[in-house]
Structure 1
Amino acid sequence: MNDAGITLHGADYLFYFSKADKIELLQENIEGDLCRLKQQDDAVFSEFQSSASEQDLDDAQVELDHWAVFGSFEQNRLVSVASMYPWEDDLQIADLGVLTLAPFRGKGHTRKVVRSICKYAYSQGYVPQYRCQIDNHASTLLAKAVGLTLFGKWEVISPDSTD
């Protein structure tokens, strides 16, 4: 494969909500200091990014210019962000990333932003999808903690590969 110019990335796990978990999510009243972030929230988002490690930012792939962005706050500080982007118009699948600043993990922020953004995606006609590398145990545990179910494993070929 290397000789052919094909690059494989590590396999990812794919997670989705089961039918029952989707129904539960859509009926849930999610509480907390949450909001949908917009471009005018650039200053607060930049402060959030500056508080995260480069590795966390790279792994999470949360961006303010994504299709949907939700944030969780603690004492008026943005501490957790989930963002989504649609795969393709005809697929109606929205891929999500999430990042919670290290000092605020384990307090429920991640669960709230992920469930909120997934509920929003469903309301817009999209199916939320969560992917993580199979060796990212924390991310796998997070997926299960927010109510997602493992769908399968996916091996990705780099778009930079030659034909």
Structure 2
Amino acid sequence: MDAEGLLEAALERADALDEATDPDGDEELTPILLAVSDNGSQMISANTRKFMAMVAIAQHFGRPATPSDQAWIESLNGTLKHEWPHLLAITDPAILRAELDTVRTEYNTARLHSGIGYVTPHDEHTGRGQAIRQARQDGLRRAAQDRLAYHRNQRDNQPNHDHPDVV
């Protein structure tokens, strides 16, 4: 929340709840985030629900036994298991936390993502994605033109087999 500039707003919301202006509790705060998850015990616990409400995060739960409700997180889990299989063998929480920090940085700032046109999420998030994709297209177009020009020039240097004395 802090990285996205939402922490201060969440804390202000939490303070506002302490100063409850609506004694009936009917006033509904517009959520500032949406947390999408499965129906795991951590996410449906009373303490989690209270915390989410306190910082104005709405919760949405996927349907049981329907992984397609959360295809993006299922895809992330598959990518993590495939590209960083060593994570599955880590049993020490401190080591896992450090490794996940490293993986998160690589995943968001170095790894190209096909779903967003082979740019990094960081590039897309900061608005550079479209410029990178356009520069790539321009480069491919120039390379194709250069390749055609090169081969056309090479054709003029080949011997003419119909007229051996003509080069």
- Structure-1-length-normalised TM-score: 0.22
**Structure with greater helix percent:** 2
- TM-score (norm. length: structure 2): 0.21
Q: Which has the higher contact order (CA 8 A, sep 6+)?
A: 1
Structure of larger gyration radius: 2
